[in-house]
Structure 1
C-alpha cells in the first residue's frame, strides 16, 4: 500500500474500509511471540530502532532511547532489564482476548511497540482518552502523550480493520475502537470513535512509524495503510481532515449529483443542503486547519432540505456523511 494505485481510492466510507480490509488481510503471515527463530523481539528491534541511534530502540509513551540489549526477558541475563513489548490494543480488550502462545492476532507486530516496563505496567489495559502533554493516567483512563497519540490512533484503526470478525474464535477476532477508547461514535460506523480520528489528524506520521511499515511488510506481508496515508481515515470516517501524504486524495465528491449545496458563497451566514439520492446521517463544518466548529447527527429536513444557520464568516470544509459515503466541499460563508 506504499503507492496510491494499490487500492481503488475513488471509494469512500465503508466501501473503502472493506477494500483496505481485503488488502491488509490477504496472504499475511504471523510471527511467533517468543522463539529461538525470528520472533517479535527481533522484529521490534528493527521496527522500533531509534532513527538517531541504531543500537537503541525508541520507547513508546515516554520517547526514551534504550539499548536493544536491555530487554525484560528474551534471555537477558547480563544487561539492565528496562523495556518489554506493549500491546497498544490491550490483549484483554479484544474479543476473544489476544493470545501470544501461537502466532496470530496477539503477535501482530503492527500492534506491538517497545515500551519501558514500568510505563507499560502503568498503562495496563486502560482505555485511551483525551489529554495533553506527556503520557499518563487521565482519571481511570490513559493518555499516550502528544507525540504518540497519532501512532496509537493509527494502530487502533489498523487492528480494527485487520481483525474485523464476529468475536467467536481466534480466527474471528474483533478489535473494536469503541472498547479501547473514550469518545463519541461517528455517524457512519458504530464501532469507530472521534477520539482516534482527532489524534490521527493532530499528530502527523513520525519517522519511526514510516520505518515500521517496510519491516512489517517484509516480515508479515502487510502494511498499516493509515501510516502510508492518514487521510484514508478521513475518507472512511470523516472527522478533522488528516494529512494527505500523497497529495492526490483531497476532498473529492462521492457523486456530483448526490447533494446540492447552495448558495455558494453562502449569504446571511446560512447554507442549504438538498438531497434526493442519499440519506444524510451527519453534517459537519471544519476550518481550513481542521478545527470542527459544527456537527449535527441525523439533521432535520424541511421540504427535503437541511438548513445550517448562524454560521461564522470564512472559508470552511463542509463534510456530509450518508449511507453512500462521505463528500466534502469547500465553502465560503459571508
Structure 2
C-alpha cells in the first residue's frame, strides 16, 4: 500500500501528464518552451552588424546579416517542429486550425501526419521549402529543423512538390490547380505564397554559409532551375531559380500572417528572417544578379 505522501506524488505526476497531453498543440506533439520574449525584441540590437553594413556592398552586408541571425540561434528537435508550426502557422480566425501552404486551406492542428497517420494523404506534415535532398539529408543538421523554411503542407501536395526547384509554368496539379508543376523539374505555387517562399529561400541562402556550421554545406540560390541533389560531402546545396524568386518577392509583399509567423518562430528559435523584417534588403543582395 502506498504511503499517503507517495500516493499524492503519483497522483500529481499522473494528473500533470494528462494535462500536458491535453495541452499539446497537435497529436503526439511535445510541449516546447519559448526561449525569447517577443515584446523585448530590439531591432537595433539584433541587427546591429547589418545596419552598419548597409552601404558596404552586397557581400559584406550578407556576411553581417548572417552574423546577426546566427548569434543566438536555438536548435530545435525535429519532433518539436510539429509543435512550433502549430503556433507559427495558426489560422488567425480559428485557433484550432493550421494553414496549409500549397492547398491554401486550413485543417485541424490535431490532423498532423505522425505515427500511424503519416500515410494519410489528407493530413498535414512538415514541408521543407529548401529541400532536404539539396544539402542537409540528416536530422542532426541544423537546416533540417530550421522552422523558418518549414511549412505545414497537405501530405499529398508535399509529395507532388517533391524536391523541385521553383519556377513559373507547368501543368495545374489536379488536387490544387492553383499550383503548377513542370515534369519533375520545377514547381510554381499559388500567388498568395510566392513571396513567402522567396523570402524563406533567401533566408536559407544567408543563414547557411560556407564553413559556418560544422555539418551544413554552403546553401546557394542560383540563376537556373535544374539544380541537382547533393550529399553532405559535396559541401554545397543549391536551389533555383533566383530571378523567379526575386520577381515573386516583389509581386507578393510581406503580409501580417508572415510577420506574425516570424515573431512566433523567434520566440522558439531565437532568430528571425531578416527579409520579413527588412524586405528591401533583398534588392541590395540579389537584384544585381538578375539585371
- Tell me the TM-score normalized by structure 1: 0.61
Q: Higher helix share goes to which structure?
A: 2
State the number of aligned residues: 226
Q: CA deviation at 1:161?
A: 0.7
**Uncovered stretches (5+) of structure 1, i.e. residues with no partner:** 184-190, 240-281, 285-294, 296-334
Cα deviation 1:1-31 (Å, max 9, x = unaligned) = 8736733134442221111010111121111
More RCO (CA 8 Å, sep 6+): 2
Judge conservation of contact 1:128–1:180 (CA < 8 Å) in 2: no
In the aligned structure 1, how far is the partner of 2:284 from the partner of 2:241? 13
Cα deviation 1:45-95 (Å, max 9, x = unaligned) = 011111121111100012111110111116769x9951000000000012x
SS at match of 1:135: strand
Moved more, 114-123 or 50-59: 50-59
Q: Which residue of 2 aligns with 1:147?
A: 192
Q: 1:179 to 1:173 in 2, by over 3 A?
A: farther
Judge conservation of contact 2:224–2:242 (CA < 8 Å) in 1: no
Q: CA deviation at 1:141?
A: 1.1
Does 2:93 align with 1:48?
A: no
Cα deviation 1:262-293 (Å, max 9, x = unaligned) = xxxxxxxxxxxxxxxxxxxx8x9xxxxxxxxx
Please give the root-mean-square deviation of Cα atoms over the aligned residues, in Å. Answer: 3.0
SS at match of 1:91: coil
Judge conservation of contact 1:127–1:142 (CA < 8 Å) in 2: yes
Cα deviation 1:272-322 (Å, max 9, x = unaligned) = xxxxxxxxxx8x9xxxxxxxxxx5xxxxxxxxxxxxxxxxxxxxxxxxxxx
Q: 1:98 to 1:221 in 2, by over 3 A?
A: farther
In the aligned structure 2, how far is the partner of 1:123 from the partner of 1:42? 23
Please point out which of 188, 198, 203 is paired with 1:158. 203
Q: CA deviation at 1:150?
A: 0.6
Does 2:147 align with 1:109?
A: yes
In the aligned structure 1, how far is the partner of 2:42 from the partner of 2:190? 27
Judge conservation of contact 2:195–2:249 (CA < 8 Å) in 1: yes
- Tell me the TM-score normalized by structure 2: 0.69
Please point out which of 201, 209, 215 is paired with 1:171. 215
Q: 1:180 to 1:224 in 2, by over 3 A?
A: farther
Q: 1:11 to 1:192 in 2, by over 3 A?
A: farther
Q: Higher strand share goes to which structure?
A: 1
Q: CA deviation at 1:194?
A: 1.5
Judge conservation of contact 2:91–2:99 (CA < 8 Å) in 1: yes
